Structure 1
Amino acid sequence: MAYKKTIDVQAAVAIAAAEAISAKTQGTFGVGGLMLDQHGNVLQSVHSNVIKQGLIFDPTAHAERQLIDWYYAEKARGAVLPAPCDVTIVTSLDPCCMCTGAILAAGFNVLVAAPDLSAGINYDGAASFVALPAALRTQAAASFSYPAVLGASSYRRSASGAAPKSFFIGKTIAEPTQALCSLVFEATSEAVLALFQNDLPREQLRDPATLPADHAIVQGLKQLYPDALTHRCMPQQPDAGLAPFLRQAMQRDREHGGAGDAVALLDGFGNLLLCMSGRLSQSGIRSAFMETTRAYAQLRYKLMAGATPERQQEVQQYLGHPKEGTFVFALGPDDSALSFMNLGAYGSTMEGPLPIYNPAQFQYVLPRLSDAALEQLCAAMPPLYRDVIRIRPVAVADQLLASELSACAGS
């Protein structure tokens, strides 16, 4: 959709709502957003693209995340854009933890229409941002705006958080518009979440290492990561054999502007499928985990889109949902915005409870927080993350792997 300028909060939210309706038509989460400069010019608008053609396309393709990556991509192409502190993201739904972390890491402002009581960063409505690490709460309070919603029904609310930017003349949201934002999201959530639980059960999965080298699934993996299927460990037990792959990705991460992080994805058979670095020099939110989870989801999508049901089932058999395997982070979580984004993106990848037989799906090699501090960080997250998915990263058990990566991290 082409929009030019808006200097009214209600008009801006109406654009976000229109994008959310487009998302609903596509069959994905009914969320939309737009990006405004300091004069109210609409830089870009977009809606959720988590689902396309009834398939998971990209679990991280929320409206806000896409807008931020768009901003960085435009800057890289030479576009003259204002600094993030002069840009406002208007979203139809309270940002999730992934999008909140991305917004804070990049330094944008945000204006929110509807609440999200399950995954929203302001899930309790207090605008105190207790779900965030303490170091990020002040930044959120100064950049997250929840304008007043005028009306007399349950959708009514008083203004909280930061004041809308000064270019806005009208600074309130009409009750029907906010209700529309809420209802469009509610109308899509159940069906989308069901798609995340639509993968084959563990007993029907097959080992991709048994496929011939010229099979499309193997070739797809190798195109993404040439070393795919060259390492194998016990399921859910990363070992020292993973060290060379992680070390190589950690070095690439530093070359691409990162702190030396890397993320490997092992499947339920213990096969190494991917091991990727971040690309923070291209976009300030393209962390190693974002690259890994997006690459895997989009490979599955590419192989299944437009395929016969038999072909789709074969892809699901050999490339199971990542919850069946293990994400292995070189660096454990810390209290930074990027790390909080990663935790949220992990939640968006799972979008449901972890299997009872694989509670340690998220493992890390080198800790950056004490165990108590990490426990506290996860326990403070919104209900979806702490009560449903029950995110709790754990350290890998193999001390030799930790020892080998420690040397790399210090180099």
Structure 2
Amino acid sequence: MEIRHCSPLGATLLSQTYESLEDAVNEAANQAVRAYCQGTFSVGGVMLDNSGNVLNALHNNVVEDGMTFDPTAHGERQLIDWYYDQISSGALLPPPEEITILTSLDPCCMCSGSILSSGFNVVSAAFDTFSGIDYDTLADFPSLDPALRPVAQATFSYPEVSGDSCFARPATSAPLPAFFSQTVINQNTQALCLSLFEATLSGVQDTVNNDLPPDLLIDPATLAPDDPLVIALRDIYPQALTYKAPSLGTPDAGLAPYLLEAAAIDAERGGKGSSVAFLDYFGNLMLCLPGNQVHSPVQTPFMLTTRSWAQLRHQLYQQEGDRVLQYFGHPKYGTFVLTLGQDTAASSLIDLGAYGSTMEEALPAENPWSLQYVVPSIPQSALTAYCQTLPPLYSQSIGVMPRQVSDRALIDAVTEGLPLTARRGAESLAL
């Protein structure tokens, strides 16, 4: 089974040029309307070059056909991956610093990390005080590492909104790109962008979390090797179902070879030498994947793992129906195990945001530690403090809090077997 990692395209408006900010925001709002009608988060975006020419326009695609398709399919992330797909195909496009992503809503942590990792500029029509990177609306970016805040302040723009209502605001953060001759958003347009998103927020979150509870799940290890579910799973990861943790959330040293094999591939593909395993509710190893950051800085191991799991479930559901949900449960009832823990860099912000987008609501009481790492990149205390600065969706509603695995033998085995560059980081932290 082929899993789509290329971003689904929305309206490609290659002949359109925008000199008016209002007109460009209207196109982002049009994309948000399409998302609304699809039943997913109502957010849209437009990618523009330094002359205001439209390179592409996309909307959120987290939900398709009433089910999670890809928790990472936000408009901004899709536009960035689309850009790198075009580059890898030989397209002649400007460098990221000469491109602006105009979005109907302030980017979330995942999309902000993606933008900062890649170097794009961004213009946001509406604030998002729940999950946006500028959630306090002060352009001080409290969720960013201090070294990244000046970068965001130089590249993230929040234009003036005209009018006499509560939607009006002054311009903050970076100046707008010079190609905009008209630089103010009408309050009605901005209100549309925000209202569209708020109208779908709770409903889509419920859709993302509408799944079978643990007591209705069936262990996929009981399936025959020739079952269509097993065949599809092993088409993505041939070693699926060949390891089982002792219990939920307690991986042991038996997981080390799988993590290390994928970490070596990750290093070859431009990553730090990390990988991510996904263990289901029964402890079965379902996926263990590297990233592909030589293709796109956004394609971290966590991004590709959570996307692959969601898309596998979505595509199989179209063929096999409810039995897919019985054997392949919601990821909130499983465990993501990262070879290398997060730090405060932009790439970790991508992963923390993507994890939040995968969960969308408070973690289940029976599985509060569904995000774990083996080898720390920064001390646990520093990582905990950093996660507490994230926007309210992540720090309060979900409670994003990675922790180190408890099995000492797993930690030692992975640390010893890490690619050299990753091992040096772990050894320096230990000192």
1:408 deviation in Å? 2.1
**AA matched with 1:201:** P
2:269 aligns with: 256
Q: Distance in 2 between matches of 1:186 and 1:53?
A: 20
Q: Which of 280, 292, 298 is matched with 2:305 structurally?
A: 292
1:282 deviation in Å? 1.2
2:368 is paired with a residue whose SS is coil
Residue 178 of structure 2 is aligned to residue 169 of structure 1: no
1:241 aligns with: 254
Q: Is the CA contact 2:267–2:419 (under 8 Å) kept in the aligned structure 1?
A: no
Q: Is the CA contact 1:57–1:297 (under 8 Å) kept in the aligned structure 2?
A: yes
**AA matched with 2:344:** D
Residue 99 of structure 2 is aligned to residue 90 of structure 1: no
Residue 347 of structure 2 is aligned to residue 334 of structure 1: no
1:344 is paired with a residue whose SS is helix
- For structure 1, the residue ranges without an aligned partner over 5 or more in a row are none
Q: Which moved more, 1:10-19 or 1:182-191?
A: 182-191
Q: Is the CA contact 2:214–2:333 (under 8 Å) kept in the aligned structure 1?
A: yes
What percent identity do the matched residue pairs reach?
Answer: 49
1:134 is paired with a residue whose SS is coil
| Aligned length, in residue pairs | 407
Q: Is the CA contact 1:142–1:162 (under 8 Å) kept in the aligned structure 2?
A: yes
Q: Which of 210, 217, 240 is matched with 1:205 structurally?
A: 217
**AA matched with 1:124:** D
1:390 aligns with: 399
Q: Which of 314, 319, 323 is matched with 2:328 structurally?
A: 319
Q: Which of 394, 401, 415 is matched with 1:406 structurally?
A: 415
Q: Is the CA contact 2:273–2:419 (under 8 Å) kept in the aligned structure 1?
A: no
1:154 is paired with a residue whose SS is coil
Q: Is the CA contact 2:264–2:419 (under 8 Å) kept in the aligned structure 1?
A: no
Q: Distance in 2 between matches of 1:282 and 1:368?
A: 23
Q: Is the CA contact 1:135–1:335 (under 8 Å) kept in the aligned structure 2?
A: no
1:153 aligns with: 165
Q: Distance in 1 between matches of 2:133 and 2:270?
A: 28
Q: Is the CA contact 2:67–2:208 (under 8 Å) kept in the aligned structure 1?
A: no
Residue 132 of structure 2 is aligned to residue 130 of structure 1: no
1:198 deviation in Å? 0.7
**AA matched with 2:408:** Q
Q: Is the CA contact 2:77–2:114 (under 8 Å) kept in the aligned structure 1?
A: yes
**AA matched with 1:83:** P
1:135 is paired with a residue whose SS is coil
1:313 deviation in Å? 2.1
> TM-score of the superposition, structure 2-length normalised?
0.93
Q: Is the CA contact 2:63–2:204 (under 8 Å) kept in the aligned structure 1?
A: yes
2:423 aligns with: none
Q: Distance in 2 between matches of 1:267 and 1:225?
A: 14
1:267 aligns with: 280
Q: Which moved more, 1:383-392 or 1:311-320?
A: 311-320
Q: Which of 376, 379, 382 is matched with 2:388 structurally?
A: 379
1:265 deviation in Å? 0.1
2:147 is paired with a residue whose SS is helix
Q: Distance in 1 between matches of 2:163 and 2:419?
A: 58
1:2 deviation in Å? 4.4
1:27 aligns with: 39
- For structure 2, the residue ranges without an aligned partner over 5 or more in a row are 1-10, 421-431
1:281 deviation in Å? 1.1
Q: Distance in 2 between matches of 1:2 and 1:355?
A: 40
**AA matched with 2:237:** Y
Alignment of 1:70-85 (within 5 A): 70-85=82-97
Q: Is the CA contact 2:44–2:103 (under 8 Å) kept in the aligned structure 1?
A: yes
2:178 is paired with a residue whose SS is coil
1:59 aligns with: 71
Q: Is the CA contact 1:279–1:286 (under 8 Å) kept in the aligned structure 2?
A: yes
1:48 deviation in Å? 0.5
1:347 aligns with: 356
1:410 deviation in Å? 4.9
> TM-score of the superposition, structure 1-length normalised?
0.98
Q: Is the CA contact 2:263–2:419 (under 8 Å) kept in the aligned structure 1?
A: no
